[in-house]
């Protein structure tokens, strides 16, 4: 092994540890769910993106097993060579129908969908206009365009006046693409897509929404664009199949032309192997379930209201959330870490989010109720948050 590299790695890691930024991996010792086992300890799980409890759903598991028996464990090639199986195509048609759009294309993950799509539809004459709180995978996708910073502009979070100003200043560029998260993952607030679509039309710009936390959650599961009724007007909808949908993958929903272009040029589609057939089949089963059983999404929202009402009644500050993402604001970093630790000791898993993920002084513990929690789970967790929070002087 190369000692220069090994020394560099050791020094980097020591530096992270010295700054308390090193995060050891915790081991999940049970399937994903409302109650899980972590480090030998049963806890109520408020940290997963498994919004609808589908990750360990018997119907999805059965679909995955059946597809594995019929089609095998792997796809064996990239989509553009001989890795496109019938089940992959069926999934894309099913997703288009579910999203009420012309066409979809599935990527290995939401992250890959961003990295694959943004640089494929943007050229050196274009400009990208982003909300300042956009997700890391959008930012990486934008970096891959190689555009100089003068063509990668940022507007203040959800600020439509600022966005209008940026649109006016960028009229000389070729295509302009406004990119925003649908639901912002750290605060749980929703992008004003109705206003964004209106401004975009006025200024001849295209709109892309990364709806990772809106998919399966808003619009009866069809996402933030559907929630606002603007799904026909959003040029590029990105969704994830890894969060509420419970499996793995990302997709782009939009026009048939967009899909067609991405099948020809999106690098992860061309150079990384297709999903195992079990993945595609399990996702189709999840979409069928979401469509035939609206109580799944309803239960998520009932639990969300119950959880947030309980916390607010105790006096906690939940920031600006409009969705199941429920930050318990602590302000300072040490209190967030103490709250996480105290909750774990009380049998509740909820993780602190601190700088650099959120600004300094805006630390929080992020909690996310999901459809698989029972009222008893939530009552127990509320009791724990209240006890630990009171002890820490938060309420």
Ligand X SMILES: *Cc1c(COP(=O)(O)O)cnc(C)c1O
Q: Judged by CB under 6 A, which of 151, 242, 330, 372 binds ligand X?
A: 242
| CB closer to ligand X, 218 vs 388 | 218
CA 8 vs CA 1, 4, 12, 18, 20: distances in Å? 13, 6, 6, 15, 19
CB of 212 to ligand X, least distance (A): 3
| 213 sits near ligand X (criterion: CB under 6 A) | yes
List binders of ligand X among 246-265 (CB under 6 A): 250
3-state secondary structure of 371: coil
Scanning 87-95, 198-206, 208-216, 276-284 for contacts with ligand X by CB under 6 A, the matching segment is 208-216
Nearest residue to 176 via CA among 122, 116, 237: 122
Active site residue 243: yes
| CB closer to ligand X, 33 vs 141 | 141
Active site residue 17: no
| CB closer to ligand X, 133 vs 147 | 133
381 in Cβ contact with 44 (< 8 Å)? yes
User: Number of residues in contact with ligand X, rule: CB under 6 A?
Assistant: 13
Number of other residues whose CB lies within 10 A of the CB of residue 198: 14
CB of 364 to ligand X, least distance (A): 16
Token pair in block for residue 193: 């897509």
User: Which listed residue (57, 88, 213, 227) is catalytic?
Assistant: 213
Query: Is omega for the bond preceding 216 within 30 degrees of 0, making it cis?
Result: no
Active site residue 213: yes
* H/E element, 146: none
CA–CA dist 392, 335 (Å, integer): 7
Residue nearest to ligand X (CB): 110
Q: What character string, x for contact with ligand X (CB under 6 A) and - otherwise, covers 131-150?
A: ----x-x-------------
* H/E element, 189: none
Q: Which regions of the chain does DSSP assign to beta strands (E)?
A: 35-38, 41-45, 103-107, 127-131, 152-155, 176-181, 206-210, 236-240, 250-254, 326-331, 348-349, 351-353, 363-367
CB of 392 to ligand X, least distance (A): 28
CB of 208 to ligand X, least distance (A): 11
Q: Judged by CB under 6 A, which of 64, 91, 163, 212 binds ligand X?
A: 212
Scanning 207-215, 226-234, 346-354, 372-380 for contacts with ligand X by CB under 6 A, the matching segment is 207-215
List binders of ligand X among 94-133 (CB under 6 A): 109-111
Q: Judged by CB under 6 A, which of 181, 333, 338, 377 binds ligand X?
A: 181
CA–CA dist 180, 142 (Å, integer): 12
Edge-to-edge order in the sheet of strand 326-331: 326-331, 363-367, 351-353
| CB closer to ligand X, 85 vs 244 | 244
DSSP class of 38: E
Give me the residue label for tokens 């693409």. 177
CB of 155 to ligand X, least distance (A): 17
| CB closer to ligand X, 114 vs 330 | 114
| CB closer to ligand X, 51 vs 228 | 51
| CB closer to ligand X, 226 vs 344 | 226
User: Which listed residue (88, 99, 227, 243) is catalytic?
Assistant: 243
Angle at 316 between CA 310 and CA 318, to 5 degrees: 90
Q: Judged by CB under 6 A, which of 120, 170, 240, 304 binds ligand X?
A: 240
CA–CA dist 273, 209 (Å, integer): 25
| 185 sits near ligand X (criterion: CB under 6 A) | yes
Supply the residues annotated as catalytic.
185, 213, 243
State the residues that interact with ligand X by CB under 6 A.
109-111, 135, 137, 181, 185, 210, 212-213, 240, 242, 250
């Amino acid at each position: 092994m190369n000692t220069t590299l090994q020394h560099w790695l050791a020094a980097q890691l020591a530096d992270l540890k010295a700054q308390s930024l090193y995060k050891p991996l915790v081991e999940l010792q049970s399937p994903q769910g409302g109650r899980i086992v972590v480090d030998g300890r049963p806890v109520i799980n408020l940290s997963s993106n498994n919004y609808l409890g589908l990750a360990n759903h018997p119907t999805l598991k059965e679909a995955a097993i059946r597809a594995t028996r019929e089609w095998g464990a792997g796809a064996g090639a990239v989509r553009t060579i001989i890795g496109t199986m019938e089940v992959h195509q069926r999934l894309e048609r099913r997703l288009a129908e579910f999203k009420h759009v012309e066409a979809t294309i599935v990527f290995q993950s939401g992250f890959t969908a961003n990295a694959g799509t943004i640089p494929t539809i943007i050229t050196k004459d274009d400009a990208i206009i982003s909300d300042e709180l956009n997700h890391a995978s959008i930012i990486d996708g934008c970096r891959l365009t190689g555009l100089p910073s003068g063509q990668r502009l940022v507007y203040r979070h959800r600020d439509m006046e600022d966005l209008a100003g940026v649109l006016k200043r960028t009229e000389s560029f070729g295509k302009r693409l406004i990119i925003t998260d649908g639901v912002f993952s750290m605060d749980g607030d929703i992008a004003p897509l109705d206003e964004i679509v209106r401004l975009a039309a006025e200024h001849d710009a295209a709109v892309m929404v990364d709806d990772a936390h809106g998919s399966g959650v808003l619009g009866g599961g069809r996402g933030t664009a559907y929630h606002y009724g603007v799904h026909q007007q959003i040029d590029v909808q990105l969704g994830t199949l890894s969060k509420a949908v419970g499996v793995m993958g990302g997709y782009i929903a939009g026009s048939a032309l967009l899909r067609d272009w991405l099948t020809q040029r999106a690098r992860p589609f061309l150079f990384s192997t297709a999903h195992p057939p079990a993945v595609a089949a399990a996702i189709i089963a999840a979409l069928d379930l979401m469509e035939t059983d609206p109580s799944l999404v309803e239960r998520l929202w009932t639990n969300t209201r119950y959880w947030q009402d309980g916390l607010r009644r105790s006096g906690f500050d939940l920031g600006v959330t409009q969705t199941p993402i429920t930050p318990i604001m602590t302000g300072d970093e040490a209190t967030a870490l103490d709250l996480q630790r105290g909750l774990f000791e009380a049998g509740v898993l909820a993780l602190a989010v601190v700088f650099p993920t959120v600004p300094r002084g805006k630390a929080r513990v992020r909690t996310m109720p999901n459809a698989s929690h029972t009222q008893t789970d939530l009552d127990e967790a509320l009791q724990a948050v209240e006890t630990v929070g009171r002890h820490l002087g938060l309420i």
